[in-house]
Amino acid sequence: MYFDPDFFTEANQNVADLFNLNLSRLPEIYFEKKDTYIAEAASGMRKTLDRLWQHYESPSAFHMKLCVLDLLHQLLDEKSISQEKALSFYTSVQVEIAKKAEQILTADLKQHIPMKQIAQQFGVSETSLKNYFRGVYGKNVSDYLRDLRMSIAEK
């Protein structure tokens, strides 16, 4: 989400006043120490963002505006601000290793290939490989493979 503090000018002040939103607090909360703020969205905020995206795909200006107001309210609500999680960033080599590991693991789902064996192929530790995989695919290897097998079985 991109936040432009200059957008909240006098032209938009009536909305802020109507809904009692102190928009000037946004930069204080999120940009106190740096220009870029990256964090995982709290579950309520994630739901609002999902609804906003749904209204984008089938446009409803009224509902989009409601979602934006809800999002602004959540951003300003100290209780809904999730504690910053340590975000991991991976190099292109680490991402490539995770993708190649995924290809090896999914080439034949009937065959079990130990992560230790794959890690040795790439010259990294098993733990590192598992971390790369989770970072790229959003879940650990066993959950990923289970979900993939279930998806294939469903078809």
Domain range summary for the chain, segments of one domain joined by +: 5-80, 92-154
pLDDT at 48 over 70: yes
In this predicted structure, what is the pLDDT of residue 89? 72
For residues 51 and 101, the model is more confident at 101
Residue 3 to residue 74: CA distance in whole angstroms: 14
Query: Sorting pLDDT into bands at 50, 70 and 90, what band is 20?
Result: confident
Query: Sorting pLDDT into bands at 50, 70 and 90, what band is 120?
Result: very high
pLDDT, tens digit, 9 for 90 and up, residues 67-117: 888 988 888 886 655 554 445 678 888 999 999 999 999 999 899 999 999
Which amino acid, one-letter code, is at 73? H
Q: What is the mean pLDDT of the chain?
A: 81
Do 124 and 97 contact (CB within 8 A), yes or no? yes
pLDDT at 7 over 90: no
Q: What percent of the chain is predicted at pLDDT more than 90? A: 30
CATH architecture, range 92-154: Orthogonal Bundle (1.10)
Query: Sorting pLDDT into bands at 50, 70 and 90, what band is 1?
Result: low
In this predicted structure, what is the pLDDT of residue 117? 96
For residues 9 and 115, the model is more confident at 115
pLDDT at 64 over 90: no
In this predicted structure, what is the pLDDT of residue 149? 92
Residue 119 to residue 101: CA distance in whole angstroms: 8
Ordered DSSP codes for 57-87: HTT-HHHHHHHHHHHHHHHH-GGGSPPPPPP
